[in-house]
Every structure is written in structure tokens, then in C-alpha cells.
Amino acid sequence: MVDKPMSNHRTRFPFSINKLLFWSLISLVVIVFFFVGSPPSTTATTTSSSSHSRRLLRGGPQWQTSVIRSSTPSNPKGLRVLVTGAAGFVGSHVSVALKRRGDGVVGIDNFNRYYDPSLKRSRADLLTREGVFIVEGDINDSSLLKSLFKLVKFTHVMHLAAQAGVRYAMKNPSSYIHSNIAGFVNLLEACKSVNPQPAIVWASSSSVYGLNSKVPFSEKDRTDQPASLYAATKKAGEEIAHTYNHIYGLSITGLRFFTVYGPWGRPDMAYFFFTKDILKGKHIQIFEGAEHRSVARDFTYIDDIVKGCLGALDTAEKSTGSGGKKSGPAQLRVYNLGNTSPVPVGKLVSILEKLLKVHAKKKVMAMPRNGDVPFTHADISLAKKEIGYKPTTDLEKGLKKFVTWYLDYYSTQSGKKDSK
Ligand SMILES: O=C(O)[C@H]1O[C@H](OP(=O)(O)OP(=O)(O)OC[C@H]2O[C@@H](n3ccc(=O)[nH]c3=O)[C@H](O)[C@@H]2O)[C@H](O)[C@@H](O)[C@H]1O
């Protein structure tokens, strides 16, 4: 028997590895192609909640078809609305309401990790089932906005994408500049450049009243004493809106939301994490003001806010500019959207205790100096007169709906985890 030379072994061994690698690669390409429908690319981004649409190639033919389909109103008189922050709390509710009444809606959201992104994904799943397509992307991405505006002649932009939260601004100040200032300017730049320009309705905040002590807060009151960077960026947004209205003829309406709560809400807000902590038997901190005065908020239920947003969209006049040039004065408005009845935080907790049937472990403590204001109270007479805003849900009724949703949502989520 003649031994095979070592060299032979050497040449044969790499050959079989190559072959193996080659066929593995081919199989991988086939699998990817089969499941994704297009080759993987660095520009392939998540575009909606469902796993299929998330893999659509941004700007590709399927993506374009989805954007166009989603933005086409089912009602011939319907609006074509781009909703920024569509996977957010208010954004998801507004998107569904618009779609259900026959408007065309396309959402955009960056699905950031400020709070549990799985909640945002669940909201996005809901939107997908309603026929609303969400583009995954940031409002700072000019080329993405350009391609969306090129594809669709949006009549309106409902701008709800923002870095929210008053206290978090001390931890991550730059995120507020990124979203609430740079992102807003980028969006306005895109809006002013297209023809026809859309009308814009956007989320300002009750926090712009800052240290204002005159109650109830009226749109005529001073807003030059913000108590947090969040508030300062929202106030800056109102000034930026003035500039774009003045120079480019963009029709812009700012809505000052007052502590919005309800089902599918934000886990960073007190009513939400109080619920979670009460159920877990953890201590909750209840802030109080100087001389042990109660801290109070004009808590506003999400359905009332949605009606306010729709009222603002429906009464928005057209922008007057085209191709970046103004041809006449355009509408510029600001409205309070509150509930007109402030409730102390202690009362909020006692309602939750009753609904959850659990006694809360409370720690009353002085409000830290981290951007909070002692109270808010909206005067809504202007919004009532001009956009037909009329809140109808008191805190007890609204929290009942929230708690029902919370228990249902998180029992389903833990069921999903258990079954994994
Ligand atoms: O209307 C707005 O413009 C803002 O509303 C919301 O801010 P806030 O009104 O501050 O709501 P939220 O944090 O739920 O605190 C509620 C109350 O609980 C008190 N609070 C809070 C935390 C705590 O541990 N203990 C406590 O007593 C606290 O002192 C406060 O009195 C949005 O988050 C914000 O994004 C913005 O939209």
C-alpha cells in the first residue's frame, strides 16, 4: 500500500472546507431570499411592526406600495396625514382614530429605548392591524423625510415624536435637543420645501407654563420661566414654529397637552409606574410642595386629547407657501388641551388603590428640584371655541379604563413569556 503524500491531504482538506462553505453560503442566500423576499442590505430597515413589513427594503417597491396604500384615504374627503411618533402613546391613538374615520395615515417612529420598546412594538402591531403603515426612522433623517414627501402629498403632519418626560431631562439633556429641537427643525425644513406644503399640528406641553402661578393657565399667560429642559425645548418649539410660519407660510398649530394618561400609556409616567409598584408591593413616593401643600395635575384622558388633535387637524387652514416661498400670512395657533380640574397626586393614588384593591405603601416627600412644577390647571376656553374641544372623562373614569387595560395587557405579556 502506498501512502498518500501529505501534500495530497493538504490539498484535499481545504477543498472540502471550501465546498462546505460554498454550499452553506448558497443555502443561506436561498433561506434569506425565501423569507425576506429581497436580498439583505444595509439600508433594509424596520418599517412596521409585523415581522414581514419590518424587513421591507426602505425605498424599495414593496415599501413604496405600503406607504402609498396606507396614506390613501378611504373617504374621498379624507386627509393624508403623516403622524410622527406613531408608535408612541398619543401617536398610536391618534393614528387609529384618523384611520378609522377614513383618513390616510402613514406613521414614522424611531422606536427608541427611552422606555420599554416592546410596548411600542405592541402599539405598532395594533396599528398594522388597523391598516396603518409605520416607517421606522428618525425625524432627523432628512433623506427619509424627503422620500416620504416625494411619494405622498401629505395634506397634514401630526407631529408627536418627541423626547418626553420632565425629570429625565437632567439625565439625558442631549436627547431633548436631538428630538424636540433638531428633529422639529428638520421636519419643518422638509414641510416648507414641498409643494403643496402640509399644515402642521404638533405637541407642545403644559410644562411651558413653568413657574407661572396665575391659574387657570391661559394661552395669554407668560411662558418664559420653564422649570425643566423638557419645558424649555417645548417652548423653543413654539418660537421655532413662529419663525417657520413667518418666513415660509407654514400653517402651524401647537397643542399644550396636560399630563395625558390612559390605556397604552407611557411607563415613565407616575400613574403608570405607581400602578406597577402598588401591585408589586413596592413603596411609591408622593411628592409634596412647600409647606406640605399637595402637588396637583390637570390629568387629561387620552380620548379627550385625541378629539382635540382631530379638532385641530380639521380646523387647520392650508399653508400658504410653495417651494420654500411664502405667498401670504398663514395660520399660527396654540391651544391648551387639559381637563380643567386639577387632582392632587395623593388622590390619584387613592383612586388607584381602590381600583387595584391593593393598599399602597406610600412615602410622602418634598418634591425634588428636578424640573417638576407644583401644579397645572388648564383654561380650555380658547380650544373649546375654536376647535370644539370638550373633555368628558374625569380621572376616576379614565383610570378605571387604564387599570382594565393594564391588567389585561400585562397578564397577556406574562402569559406569552410563560409559554416561551
Ligand atoms: O403635561 C405635560 O406637559 C407633561 O406631563 C407629564 O409630566 P408630569 O405632569 O410631571 O407627569 P408625571 O411624571 O406622570 O407626574 C405626575 C405627578 O406625579 C408626581 N410624582 C411623580 C413621580 C413620583 O415618583 N412621585 C410623584 O408624586 C409629579 O410631581 C406630578 O405632580 C409628562 O410626563 C411630560 O412628558 C409632559 O407631557
> 234-288: per-residue pLDDT in tens?
999 999 999 999 999 999 999 999 999 999 999 999 999 999 999 999 999 999 9
Those residues of the chain that have pLDDT short of 50 are 1-17, 20, 26-48, 50
The structure's pTM equals 0.89
- CA dist 18 and 26 (Å) reads 12
Q: Which of 168, 176, 209, 230 is catalytic?
A: 230
Q: What atom of ligand 1 comes closest to residue 258's alpha carbon?
A: 1
Mutate to test the pocket of ligand 1, among 179, 206, 211, 297 (most ligand atoms within 8 A of CB): 297
Helical (H) or strand (E) element with 188:
helix 184-193
Buried b (16+ CB within 10 A) or exposed e, 37-59: eeeeeeebbbbbbbeebbbbbbb
Joined grid coordinates for residue 191: 414641510
In this structure, the residue with its CA closest to atom 33 of ligand 1 is: 165
Whole-number pLDDT of residue 44: 32
What secondary structure letter does DSSP report for 75? S
Which residues form the pocket of ligand 1, taking CB atoms under 6 Å from any ligand atom? 164-166, 205-207, 257-259, 269-270, 285-287, 295, 297, 345, 367, 372
In this structure, the residue with its CA closest to atom 18 of ligand 1 is: 270
Mutate to test the pocket of ligand 1, among 288, 294, 345 (most ligand atoms within 8 A of CB): 345
- Please say whether the beta carbons of 277 and 283 come within 8 A: yes
Distinct helix (H) and strand (E) counts, the chain: 14, 13
Tell which residue, 41, 44, 47, has the closest CA to residue 86.
47
- Please say whether the beta carbons of 46 and 54 come within 8 A: yes
Name the β-bridge partners of 148.
Answer: none
Helical (H) or strand (E) element with 100:
helix 89-100
- Cα 277 to ligand 1 centre (Å): 16
Joined grid coordinates for residue 364: 410622602
Burial of 317 (0-12, 13-18, 19+ CB in 10 A): exposed
> What kind of architecture, by CATH, is found in domain 51-259+300-339+372-392?
3-Layer(aba) Sandwich (3.40)
Is 261 one of the catalytic residues? no
- CA dist 134 and 106 (Å) reads 6
- Cα 259 to ligand 1 centre (Å): 7
Indicate if ipTM > 0.90.
yes
Name the β-bridge partners of 134.
Answer: 107
Whole-number pLDDT of residue 8: 34
Query: Phi, psi at residue 54, to the nearest 5°?
Result: -65, -25
Whole-number pLDDT of residue 13: 35
Q: Which residue is it, cell 431570499?
A: 33
Mutate to test the pocket of ligand 1, among 229, 230, 259 (most ligand atoms within 8 A of CB): 259
Domain ranges of the chain: 51-259+300-339+372-392
